[in-house]
Amino acid sequence: MNVAVVGAGYVGLVTGACLAETGNNVVCADCDRDKVELLRRGQSPIYEPGLADLLARNISEGRLHFTLDAAEAVRRAELVFLAVGTPPQPDGSVDLAALWSAVDQMAPALGPETVVVLKSTVPVGTNAAVSERLAQRCGAPRVVVNNPEFLKEGTAIDDFMKPDRVVVGSRDARAADLLRELYRPYLRTDKPLLVMSPESAEMTKYAANALLAAKISFINEIAGLCEHCGADVDDVRRGIGHDSRIGFQFLFPGAGYGGSCFPKDVAALVRWAQSQGLPASMIEAVEQVNRRQKNLLADKIERHFGPRLAGAVIAVWGLSFKPGTDDIREAPSLVLIDRLLDRGARVQVFDPKAIENVRRIYGDRLRYGRHRDDVLAGADALAIVTEWKAFLHPDQAALRQLRERVIFDGRNLFDPRRIAEAGFTYYSVGRPMIAPAGSA
């Protein structure tokens, strides 16, 4: 099929590259000239495992193209995917300015049979609004369907190629059949393509992310209760996770969730409910718990050091909001860094992929390591924020460079008993603090 993707951000780029990989002719349009030039050279502007190879292969084989002209991209397309950003506004509601701009740019070039596919995450009712606007701009109705994405950063290629399900919001049978044919190569193991109303598809995306975020906030709140009463949240997590009704996915305590999806989508669902005069008490609580959780490591560090924190040197491992990506949007690491700097501490940071993104924010206010152990030299303590695999088996000799031999682990990477036996004071999440034998 001839496919256009308007918006070459995270979702648009993965969508375009994966569709090209199965033989479709794909044109991706974006308004960022530097990004388009980079992509034309076969270079990815984001880090996502496997994406660079996918881009290079499909560009060289002539199936994947990039342009600044959205109208030109859609002119010969059978399907046009709208994958522009829908960022949060200050009140948490969704900013649809980029979506309306894309609609207006492409409307004059849309053919009468072209199907417009909303891939962006949008509030309930957006499909109807886009349909109305296109009818006005085109002088006749155009078919608009929803096809929400369920990609996880770090595994997005696999998620697209091997989906749990594909959701299509459409009242038009022909449009649903087109998407069924497009996705057929990815559904060969009998995973379902679920056709529903556009409103149901729009709500499905928000409901999925809100529920996953709720699991994270739930176990984080339980972790706080465990710390208070001396229970071990890892034991509790195992005790409930083996219940087949609950399971283990997203049931790991930590320093809070971040990224471009959960914070934005949870806030957007709350604001949408409020705009409709509807209660959203549980979803509001998910937000509140996560805001509190992002301050957990800083709180522990402040309690440990007290007034000595001013002038202390804190090493930080992990800056991206999760492993497998360079994305620092809403990352818990930024909350920690800001708190430490505000208290007069000096901060030394390392991340396998996100260093440059952090450097653009903080400049020379931080010291940056090229290796995880670089930032331990001269540091008083270590804080772990992101669970990169490279942090799972640290060099004990390097860790002993820490002047106070204290570790604040925001992802429960280590066995408390073993880390204490190695001579460290160890703070984690939802587990008792543990200190070396004989320490005061």
Give per-residue burial for 256-265: e unless 16+ CB within 10 Å, then b.
bbbbbbbbbb
**3-state secondary structure (DSSP) of residue 225:** helix
Q: Which residues have a Cβ under 8 Å from the Cβ of 115 and sit 6 or more positions away? A: 78, 79, 80, 143, 144, 145, 172, 174, 175, 178, 179
Name the phi and psi angles at 192, rounded to 5.
Answer: -85, 150
- Which two three-digit tokens encode residue 243? 């219940």
Count how many Cα atoms sit within 13 Å of the Cα of residue 247 in the half-sphere of its side chain. 6
Give per-residue burial for 65-104: e unless 16+ CB within 10 Å, then b.
bbbeebbebbbebbbbbbbbbbebeeebbbebebbeebbe
Contact 160, 147 (CB under 8 A): no
Paired with 145 in beta bridges are: 117
**Distance from C-alpha of 256 to C-alpha of 193, rounded to nearest angstrom:** 32
- Establish whether 31 is a catalytic residue: no
Name the phi and psi angles at 166, rounded to 5.
Answer: -120, 130
Return the number of other C-beta atoms located less than 10 Å from residue 177's C-beta: 12
Q: Which residues have a Cβ under 8 Å from the Cβ of 278 and sit 6 or more positions away? A: none
Alpha-carbon torsion 131, 26, 157, 195, what sign?
Answer: positive
- Which two three-digit tokens encode residue 112? 């009468």
Q: Name the residues annotated as catalytic.
A: 261
